[in-house]
A and B are shown apart, each in its own frame.
Chain A
Amino acid sequence: MKFVISEEQRALAEAIDQVIESVGGTAVARAASEGDAAPARALWEQLAELGLLGLCIDEADGGMGGTPVDLIVAFERLGYHAAPGPYLESAALLPDLVDPALRESLADGSVIATAAIPGFVPYALDAQLCSQQFIVTEDSITPAGAGEGQESIDAARTLHELVPAGPAAALDPQAVALAIDRATLGSAAMLLGAGERLLEEAVAYAKLREQFGRVIGEYQGLKHQLANVRVALTFARPLLKGAALDLGTPAGERSVSAAKVAASDAAILAARTALQVHGAIGYTQEHDLSLWLTRVHALASAWGTGRYHRSRIAASILAPAAILSPAS
């Protein structure tokens, strides 16, 4: 059965964890949020060496030839560690939309690229780390220059408006749609990883913090909130796996949308709950919890809001013809 994560995928996840921990773990996101991009670049190089940047690229083009299930396994770890940088853009969105030479450079990490998709992902992420930027529309790609960086709710993310800086190249709309869905699925995986980490942090804190002479994790008021987070994350996960198996098939779009909605909702619930469990200390920028609290909200609105994805599902399941024929 394809529902069980393979040994190779488990090993990939562990290797990513080790690389991120070796570069400093959450210190990378912390540095990025303070304007120091050096650790983020160092992490990029190491993850490129591991093959992560070429995960969705064919082996013939210098990549790993990974599956969409590999993608969600890997990107969940990036979310878990709040790794900063345009990974979705460079590793999931752009590879299939650029020429083979650039594809190879993306795969080996020598080029870091970012992108904006007007009306969907209006700002390009972290152009300060990138040597190339692109404007992607439903049927074209255009090299672009980046405007000044703007602040995000997540201090480790910098957002840029892009201006065209070269001729547009035509693209197959189906290829663009698939690439966007792949990146959207990656964002759902990052949200799931962030949600799992938020739950872990909250549970760990609830076992330590004492009030009224007992650890606060003994109180049902907190237990039940944390249990609800466990339920939400547990039931978001199979939607991601389902979407990874459906990607590129007629059911792919709505499956990806379902995964994004469920992962966003679960991660936001995890964020709210983790903050409540931590109390005032969680409300400080100094505490690492802030890294995921803000990341979750950034990712929930990027790569299609809940409104966008629910509408896309509605168009698929609520049209009479679509029910009779899911392939339409």
Chain B
Amino acid sequence: MDLDLTEEQLAFAAEARAWLAENVPATPLPSMDTEEGFAAHRQWEAKLAEGRWSVVSWPEEYGGRGAGLIEWVLFEEEYYRAGAPTRVAQNGISLLAPILFGHGTEAQHERFLRDMTDGTLIWAQAWSEPGAGSDLASIRSTAKRDDERGGWILNGQKTWSSRAPWADRGFGLFRSDPEAQRHRGLTYFLFPLDAPGLTVRPITQLDGTTGFAELFFDDVFVADEDVLGAPGDGWRVAMSTAGNERGLSLRSPGRFCAATDRLIDLWQRNQEQDPFAQDAVVDAWIKSEAYRLYTWGTVSTLQEGGDIGAEGSVNKVFWSELDIAIHQTGLDLLGPAAELRSASAEAGGRWVDDYIFALGGPIYAGTNEIQRNIIAERILGLPRGGDGRKAS
């Protein structure tokens, strides 16, 4: 397909491919949601930074290459094709950094950005609370002003905080104005996970690893320098993250194209297990292609000054369901051996691990039910209400 790539863009992709071929570990790293695996993935971030591949789209002064959107997609395609490790620094690089660039102070840029590029500073996200999942605006954790010390006192509980068991800092919203309702009176905080009064309790996930944790805040002091954006303006600040998370950046097409390549390979070796799986393999290929082409279309739109907006919700429903379909088909092709997860299993049990990982897709970053509401209301223009949701 002719994407009108320039010589420079093709050279950029070739350089990435060559570096990855030389540096991607031959044996997959242990899961980043184990202590040993987290440390190994932290080291990989340092390796990426050494080659200046950890944050290609960031400005050069912060360790990036100032790469455009097209180069970013090219890099991601190469990254997944090379079978490179999952990015343990993703919360910080993909979710926090865009906001930090947009809303952070010069001092915050200096304190945080460089350390985020080489695994020195890894972030956990802290959005959900026990009573605030899909309905994120019903947050109840509080921030109380402490003028004497020049900061805030945090209390309450966060949960499903990904990477928190071994990360260095967290980011999330706290209610700083107890009188304000829902989206108002929230403040965005950047806090160290080893702060006095903060307890991190790892939660064992479906796959047995501890990718996320509960956070208990018991009079945790956070200085003013760790507030992102203006106090009380946290919702608006945070939503630029959510849009990003649900949109282009979280799942690059390379991920699904690489998984589909593995699926095709598996089909060629295991088709006798389930001859009827051929259609499912073909459909996985069609949808991965659709996702790849859609992404290039989105890139074109953005290049011409357009906006993703609510389209990000269409995107999220599609890739999360595609991810499950690809891995469900993989398990079908493994036949009676599909449940095996030990090192002797096909690809060291990766099909099981990736399937379980995929199951989270329709839940995190806004459940697919919330995404479908957004599609229906903001894209199709159907009226709100009728389901007990409060007006926002």
Contact = CB atoms under 8 A, between A and B. Distances in A.
A318 B268 contact: yes
Contacts of B285: 258, 313, 317
Chain B facing A: main interface SS = helix
Interface string B286-314: 11011101101101110110000001001
When A and B form their complex, which 10 residue pairs have the shortest distance between CB atoms, in order from nearest?
A218-B386, A238-B293, A223-B376, A227-B372, A227-B375, A1-B300, A217-B382, A3-B300, A235-B290, A224-B372
A175 B214 CA distance: 64
Interface string B362-392: 0000000101110111011111111100000
Given A3-B297, A238-B293, A245-B2, A215 B287 contact: no
A241 to B, nearest CB: 7
Given A1-B300, A261-B286, A220 B387 contact: yes
A317 B283 CA distance: 11
Contact of B281 (A203, A236, A237, A318): A318
B377 A223 contact: yes
A309 to B, nearest CB: 9
Nearest to B304: A4
B264 interface: yes
B318 interface: yes
Interface of B: 1-4, 261, 264, 267-268, 278-279, 281-283, 285-287, 289-291, 293-294, 296-297, 299-301, 303-304, 311, 314, 317-318, 369, 371-373, 375-377, 379-387
A287 interface: no
B314 A218 contact: no
Contacts of A242: 1, 289, 293
12 contacts: A1-B4, A4-B301, A220-B373, A231-B318, A236-B290, A239-B286, A242-B1, A242-B293, A245-B1, A255-B289, A258-B286, A262-B286
A1 B303 contact: yes
Contacts of A203: 380-382
Contacts of B373: 220, 223-224, 227
Interface string A215-251: 1011110111011101100111111011001100001
B372 A218 contact: no
A111 to B, nearest CB: 35
Contacts of A214: 385-386
Contact of A234 (B4, B287, B314, B382): B314
Contacts of A220: 369, 372-373, 386-387
A261 B283 CA distance: 9
B288 to A, nearest CB: 10
A272 B103 CA distance: 46
Interface in A250-275: 251, 255, 258, 261-262
Contacts of B318: 231, 234-235
A323 B282 CA distance: 13
Contacts of A2: 2-4
B170 to A, nearest CB: 32
Nearest to B389: A220
A310 interface: yes
B380 A227 contact: yes
A191 interface: no
A320 interface: yes
Given A245-B2, A317-B264, A207 B291 contact: no
A235 B380 contact: no
A206 interface: yes
A227 B300 contact: no
A236 B377 CA distance: 21
Contacts of B290: 235-236, 238-239, 258, 262
Given A206-B382, A235-B294, 20 more contacts: A3-B293, A3-B300, A4-B304, A203-B380, A203-B381, A207-B383, A215-B383, A218-B387, A223-B372, A223-B382, A227-B373, A231-B314, A235-B287, A238-B294, A239-B289, A242-B1, A246-B1, A261-B286, A313-B286, A317-B282
Contacts of A169: none
B167 to A, nearest CB: 33
Given A1-B3, A4-B301, A224-B369, A218 B385 contact: yes
Contacts of A237: 294, 297
A314 interface: yes
Contacts of A215: 383
Contacts of A231: 314, 317-318, 375
Contacts of B264: 317-318, 323
Nearest to B280: A310
Contacts of B287: 235
Nearest to A215: B383
A3 B384 CA distance: 33
Contacts of B286: 239, 258, 261-262, 313
Contacts of A255: 289
A276 to B, nearest CB: 15
